[in-house]
Amino acid sequence: MIVYNDGIHLRETDLWFDSKKKVPLSFISNAKFNNFAAHKKIIATPQTIKLLGKKVKKSLVLPCPFFRPFSLGKVQIELIPSGYILGSSQVVVDFDGRSMLYTGDLKIRPSETTEQAVARHCDVLVMKCRYGLPNYIFPHTQEVMESLTNFIDNTLAEGDVPVLLVDPLGKAQDLVKILGDQRYSLSINDSIYKVIKIYEEFGVKFSNYQKFNPTQIEGKVLVFPPYSRDSDLLEKIETKRIGVVMGWALERLLVKSVFRADEAFPLSDHCGYDELIQFVEVVRPEEVYLVGGFSIEFARTLQKRGFDAKPLEKPTQLKLL
């Protein structure tokens, strides 16, 4: 039914899924898709298209809202939420008498700013498994946030500036939403601020935040992307404590060392190992194909549980960013 070649291709059609090379027609699961290619045509949610911005200006864009099935020739298609970031989607495909679900990046835990993921039964499941090892089981979001707010409170009490390094698309918006609703005063890096404004266009409400101003940081929580760690803006702040917020913070000492941070908090916008298993068991596919992360190891896990599971691509070493 499918073939893998720098992206997943539905046989006997023009349809690809998150293709890394230019193709006639590709479904794009979310706006954080790496190695974006200027495909001739793109299928994505309106939110994803808006967040992609200029990246799609050379493509014919086919916006598709959630839960509105449509046909492309003999192929029936429906986009459903994946819970990863705003507008991120899975795609359900019915073709030649069989059904397929491609997840893209997936998170089944509830999010403050993102549509709740949906599990749909299918014959063939093609799934990303970024955290497909048993040691990647995430604590509850509330537990992580309690640790994070203790870090913020203690830093402010000592007269220092708390700086949170977090991915600018998705996780940053969750963090700003939660902390703002708890009445923390937030000073936001420009790249994160711009994304927040797009989220607001789609009805997500934020509070108690402003764009970063270096002359107005007293009593505020600074929220910056990880790549800003060595920026002049942050280096000029002498009395600061830095916390890194990312899924890889389960490897706490490593992440603290890489970012020269005071603390690391394991808040993820992906499924952990246990959640990946849970999702497969709910979907109940006849066949499972795995991409990304620890696909070989996770295939063995699913095989032991009775699933016909195979990795689709040769694994590569994962990066922290």
Confidence of residue 50 (pLDDT cuts 50, 70, 90): very high
pLDDT of residue 15: 96
* Helix, strand counts (H, E) of the chain: 8, 19
Mean pLDDT of 166-186: 97
Q: Which CATH number fits domain 2-134+270-311: 3.40.50.10860, 3.60.15.10, 3.40.50.1370, 2.40.30.170?
A: 3.60.15.10
pLDDT of residue 276: 98
Residue with tokens 């014959």: 123
Mean pLDDT of 131-151: 97
pLDDT of residue 317: 42
Measured CA to CA, the distance from residue 88 to residue 246 in angstroms comes to 18
Mean pLDDT of 177-195: 97
Mean pLDDT of 144-159: 98
For 75-123, what is each residue's pLDDT tens digit?
Answer: 999 999 999 999 999 999 999 999 999 999 999 999 989 999 999 999 9
Tokens read off for 219:
């009593």
Burial class (CB within 10 angstroms; exposed 0-12, middle 13-18, buried 19+) of 123: middle
Q: Which CATH architecture has domain 141-265?
A: 3-Layer(aba) Sandwich (3.40)
Tokens read off for 177:
């939403």
Domain ranges in the chain are: 2-134+270-311, 141-265
Mean pLDDT of 183-194: 97
For residue 268, give the amino acid letter: S
Tokens read off for 66:
């959630």
pLDDT of residue 314: 61
- pTM exceeding 0.85: yes
pLDDT of residue 320: 39
- The DSSP call for residue 73 is T
Average pLDDT over the chain, rounded to whole?
Answer: 94
Domains 2-134+270-311 and 141-265 agree in fold = no
